[in-house]
Amino acid sequence: MLALELAARRLDLGFYPIDFAGVDSKADCLARLAGALTLPAWFGHNWDALSDALTEPELVGERGAVLCLQQVEGFVCREQPGWLTLLDIMNETAEYWSRQQRPFWCVVLSACPALVSAPVLANH
């Protein structure tokens, strides 16, 4: 992660490391994201609100942002539908910011080959 963080900082991108250790439910996931990203006060702790909050200009800033999800394996195993929803939201967010000509990346760091090579990740 250190190299990723250094690269993001050199490009003046916002860098958000998000540790998913102990996250095993949708509620835990949304709470962890809200805390790590300092989401707006109106954030309603549901998937639609997350999607809306990720398109707030304050999050991405003028230059763009990199979200780095770590230790996601427990969440993926216990809440696969939520994981897939989160990936869809991150993909939609990246597409939104691309249209605004601002970079947005969500990087998943995992030592689990099955997670990294999963077909759903190939499109995100």
pLDDT digits (tens, 9 = 90+) for 37-95: 999 999 999 999 999 999 999 888 889 999 999 999 999 999 999 999 999 999 999 99
**pLDDT band, residue 122 (cuts 50/70/90):** very low
Match 């999963």 to its residue by tokens: 118
Beta strands in 56-103 (DSSP E): 65-70
Residue 124 pLDDT > 50? no
> Is the whole model's pTM more than 0.85, yes or no?
yes
Count of Cβ atoms closer than 10 Å to residue 54 Cβ: 23
* Domains and their CATH numbers in the chain: 2-114 (3.30.370.10)
